């Protein structure tokens, strides 16, 4: 395996919003191949309850974009609880204005993105315990990330989004998704423009790694 290439893919696959090429269609066979790859991901008890709804129909994309925009406006107007305030010296605080700018662009242009993919999983767990929740969500989310990586390797960008889930039932009615199925993410998918992507500035792994007990660093 080419480790350098794998590391590059894993460290530079970003949420693509402003660099989605809205004027270029995506070959459906490329989507199908990326989904084949995604379905190599693990699932709890080998359940394989995954489903991907690929939306290319313009009227349906417009409908999803309307729901997403409504949710985005509720979220950004502070009517939906978001993340706790960060201290100004936290690196995540510095990244927020850029993310908000990019997320606003996506909310305004989602209907123009040529492909939307909604990742779904069989079952509902809102009333279930944490083991069931972890098992059901954990049985779709690795496949979603693999899908994003496989797209990226082929010059196609995407962004993990969840805001439309505020109106999950409306999206389900629009697309005929049964109410027994859980929608977990909506990925706008398009070829990306511009050159390479860079690794992001993240919290440091040693600060988030606990060896043998919570809060313990690895002894040298």
Ligand X SMILES: Cc1cc2nc3c(=O)[nH]c(=O)nc-3n(C[C@H](O)[C@H](O)[C@H](O)COP(=O)(O)O)c2cc1C
- Which positions touch ligand X (CB under 6 A)? 14-15, 99, 103, 106, 159-163, 200
Contact yes or no for 102/17 (Cβ under 8 A):
yes
Q: Which is nearer to ligand X, 99 or 128 (CB)?
A: 99
Q: Are strands 181-191 and 115-122 parallel, antiparallel or unpaired?
A: antiparallel
Least Å from the CB of residue 87 to ligand X: 18
Q: Which is nearer to ligand X, 103 or 121 (CB)?
A: 103
Least Å from the CB of residue 179 to ligand X: 21
How far is Cα 33 from Cα 103, in angstroms, rounded to an integer?
Answer: 28
Least Å from the CB of residue 219 to ligand X: 32
Tokens standing for 43? 């699932």
DSSP classification of residue 187: E
3-state DSSP assignment of residue 36: helix
Q: Which is nearer to ligand X, 17 or 191 (CB)?
A: 17
Least Å from the CB of residue 31 to ligand X: 20
With CA atoms as reference, report the closest residue to 150 among 36, 55, 53.
Answer: 36
End-to-end CA distance of the chain: 30
Q: Which is nearer to ligand X, 85 or 213 (CB)?
A: 85
Q: Which is nearer to ligand X, 96 or 128 (CB)?
A: 96
Q: Which helix (H) or strand (E) holds 118?
A: strand 115-122
How far is Cα 37 from Cα 30, in angstroms, rounded to an integer?
Answer: 11
Least Å from the CB of residue 201 to ligand X: 9
């Amino acid at each position: 395996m080419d480790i350098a290439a794998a590391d590059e893919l894993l460290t530079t696959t970003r949420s693509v919003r402003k660099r989605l090429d809205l004027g270029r269609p995506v070959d459906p066979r490329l989507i199908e191949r990326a989904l084949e790859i995604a379905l190599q991901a693990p699932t709890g008890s080998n359940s394989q309850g995954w489903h991907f709804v690929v939306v290319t129909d313009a009227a349906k994309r417009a409908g999803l974009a309307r729901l997403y925009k409504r949710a985005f406006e509720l979220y950004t107007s502070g009517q939906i609880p978001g993340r706790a305030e960060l201290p100004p010296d936290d690196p995540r605080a510095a990244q927020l204005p850029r993310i908000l700018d990019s997320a606003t662009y996506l909310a305004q242009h989602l209907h123009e993105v040529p492909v939307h993919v909604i990742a779904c999983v069989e079952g509902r767990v809102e009333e279930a315990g944490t083991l069931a929740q972890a098992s059901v969500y954990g049985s779709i989310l690795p496949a979603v990330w693999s899908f994003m990586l496989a797209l990226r390797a082929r010059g196609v960008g995407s962004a993990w989004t969840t805001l439309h889930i505020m109106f999950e039932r409306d999206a389900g009615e629009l697309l005929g998704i049964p109410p027994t199925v859980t929608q977990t993410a909506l990925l706008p998918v398009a070829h990306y423009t511009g050159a390479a992507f860079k690794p992001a500035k993240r919290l440091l792994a040693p600060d988030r790694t606990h060896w043998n007990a919570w809060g313990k660093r690895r002894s040298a």
